[in-house]
């Protein structure tokens, strides 16, 4: 069994002269050589439309950007845009890199080698279904075929010269593969976990959570935020959901003592919370924390100290929220949809509110909005509101469109029927018009 790779990212991207150097390739310091492979579901085509970005797609895009640079070209796509696409189920990502840039080419080559090496083990453990880059395609379900040429689709973008496209299986999209949970997939998902009778979603493993702290630097305790050692244990860090707290034992500890920790939440010991650090989670919201430190001295004596309580655990705030992007043509009759952008973490629920020139459009609260004659001449925008347990509700607004234009009329050629003889009546057949409600006028 080949080595399991997990996301341990370098804390920063270094620079050497004028040549950019990206972060260290993710790897697993613990090395898990005995973990079984995930079950391969094969190609899972888009069958529904649920464009909200799925957590595994968000996490993988974050990881690629944090490690190799580049930027996001989005995850979601409107239901009526183009043909079949996993973007319409929020389980495909576009990573903006340009094949014409030598540095981008090197970065992408390094990332794709990491994903596809050893028969694509890392890709399979991430739930990567297929990858398109530089007019070539690689699929995990056909990994023995390697990279295959793709037919010319007609443009720089559609041939994937300016971005890497990665589609995920449903397990990968829902972050349920062994790379995230430490548990190999045995029965692949065919849709979102926890929905429609599907099993509940498994949380990320401790290793994955630790690795994701490097993607989210707010989740570590900076040395400069730790309190000075004192006569009792002191707690450093922000008491906030999603943030790490760390205990500074203090000056009372006898030399060479073995320390044991017990975190206490609202006066009740937290089972299993026996490390020097503690990650505050949503169930801790509003509770007060303290920690008991037990020192076992070399002479056999035992010293116990209890820290003071710290302020109640506060709700977290979404981080890295990007501006929502509007997709579609601002023309009467056309559908506008929204790519909600990147949220860290991805909200449990999202709400949408569409505006025309800053005024709410009645009943326009969906992922998309079909423009009507009422919208003519207005600039359309949308606000996306994200909510999650333990987080402060946040709203991000798109920029406005150009003024909504009038739709063109489609029609077939009119015909004249009747006998072309003096005294006889001729009749005009107007043909088919779209929309059918158009008002017609005649001029002979």
pLDDT on residue 218: 45
Residue 359 buriedness (CB in 10 A; 0-12 / 13-18 / 19+): exposed
176 alpha carbon, distance to own chain's centre: 14
CB burial string 362-386: b at 16+ within 10 A, e below:
eebeebbbebeeebeebbbbbbbbb
CA distance 351 to 35: 40
CA distance 55 to 200: 14
Name the strand (E) or helix (H) holding 234: strand 234-236
Phi, psi values for residue 56, rounded to 5°: -70, -35
Q: How many helices (H) and strands (E) does the chain have?
A: 5, 26
260 alpha carbon, distance to own chain's centre: 38
pLDDT on residue 126: 93
pLDDT on residue 222: 67
pLDDT on residue 169: 97
Contact present, 236 and 227 (Cβ < 8 Å): yes
Residue 295 buriedness (CB in 10 A; 0-12 / 13-18 / 19+): buried
Give the global pTM.
0.52
Contact present, 391 and 316 (Cβ < 8 Å): yes
Cα within 13 Å of Cα(182), Cβ side: 13
The pair of structure tokens assigned to 406 is: 């009038």
3-class DSSP assignment, residue 354: strand
Let me know the angle formed at the C-alpha of 357 by 355 and 363, rounded to the nearest 5 degrees.
25
255 alpha carbon, distance to own chain's centre: 47
Contact present, 407 and 332 (Cβ < 8 Å): yes
378 alpha carbon, distance to own chain's centre: 31
pLDDT on residue 74: 87
pLDDT on residue 224: 67
Neighbours of 433 (CB within 10 A): 15
Name the strand (E) or helix (H) holding 121: helix 102-126
Low-confidence residues of the chain: pLDDT under 70 = 1-35, 206-224, 320, 345-346, 435-436
Which sign, positive or negative, has the C-alpha torsion 188, 190, 193, 194? negative
CB burial string 70-95: b at 16+ within 10 A, e below:
bebbbbbbbbeeeeebbbbbbbbbbb
Phi, psi values for residue 427, rounded to 5°: -125, 135
The string of pLDDT tens digits covering residues 379-395 is 999 999 998 888 899 99
Residue 418 CB contacts under 8 Å (≥ 6 apart), including other chains: 424, 425, 426, 427
The string of pLDDT tens digits covering residues 107-159 is 899 899 989 988 898 899 999 999 999 999 999 999 999 999 999 999 999 99
């Amino acid at each position: 069994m080949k080595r399991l790779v997990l996301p341990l990212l370098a804390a920063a991207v270094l620079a050497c002269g004028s040549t950019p150097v990206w972060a260290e390739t993710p790897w697993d310091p613990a090395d898990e050589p005995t973990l079984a492979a995930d079950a391969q579901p094969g190609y899972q085509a888009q069958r529904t439309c649920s464009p909200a970005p799925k957590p595994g797609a968000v996490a993988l895009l974050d990881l690629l950007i944090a490690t190799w640079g580049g930027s996001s070209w989005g995850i979601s796509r409107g239901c009526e845009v183009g043909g079949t696409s996993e973007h319409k189920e929020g389980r495909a990502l576009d990573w903006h890199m340009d094949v014409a840039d030598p540095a981008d080419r090197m970065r992408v080559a390094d990332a794709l080698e990491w994903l596809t090496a050893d028969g694509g083990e890392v890709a399979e453990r991430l739930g990567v279904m297929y990858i398109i880059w530089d007019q070539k395609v690689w699929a995990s379900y056909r990994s023995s075929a390697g990279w295959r040429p793709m037919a010319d689709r007609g443009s720089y973008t559609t041939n994937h010269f300016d971005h890497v496209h990665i589609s995920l299986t449903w397990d990968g999209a829902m972050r349920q593969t062994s790379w995230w949970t430490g548990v190999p997939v045995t029965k692949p998902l065919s849709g979102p976990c926890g929905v429609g009778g599907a099993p509940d979603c498994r949380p990320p493993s401790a290793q994955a959570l630790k690795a994701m702290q490097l993607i989210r630097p707010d989740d570590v305790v900076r040395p400069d935020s730790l309190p000075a050692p004192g006569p009792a244990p002191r707690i450093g860090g922000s008491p906030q959901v999603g943030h790490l707290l760390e205990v500074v034992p203090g000056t009372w500890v006898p030399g060479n003592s073995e320390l044991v920790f017990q975190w206490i939440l609202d006066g009740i010991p937290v089972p299993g919370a026996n490390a020097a650090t503690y990650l505050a989670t949503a169930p801790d919201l509003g509770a007060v924390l303290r920690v008991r430190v037990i020192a076992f001295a070399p002479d056999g004596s035992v010293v116990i100290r209890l820290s003071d309580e710290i302020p109640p655990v506060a709700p977290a705030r979404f981080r890295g929220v990007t501006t929502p992007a509007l997709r579609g043509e601002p023309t009467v009759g056309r559908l506008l949809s929204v790519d909600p952008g990147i949220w860290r973490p991805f909200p449990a629920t999202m709400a949408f509110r569409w505006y025309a020139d800053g005024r709410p459009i009645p009943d326009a609260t969906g992922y998309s909005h079909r423009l009507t004659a009422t919208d003519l001449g207005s600039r359309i925008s949308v606000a996306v509101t994200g909510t999650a347990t333990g987080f402060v509700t946040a709203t991000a607004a798109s920029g406005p469109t150009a003024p909504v234009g009038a739709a063109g009329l489609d029609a077939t050629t009119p015909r004249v029927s009747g006998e072309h003889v003096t005294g006889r009546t001729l009749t005009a057949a107007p043909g088919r018009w779209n929309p059918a409600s158009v008002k017609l006028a005649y001029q002979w």
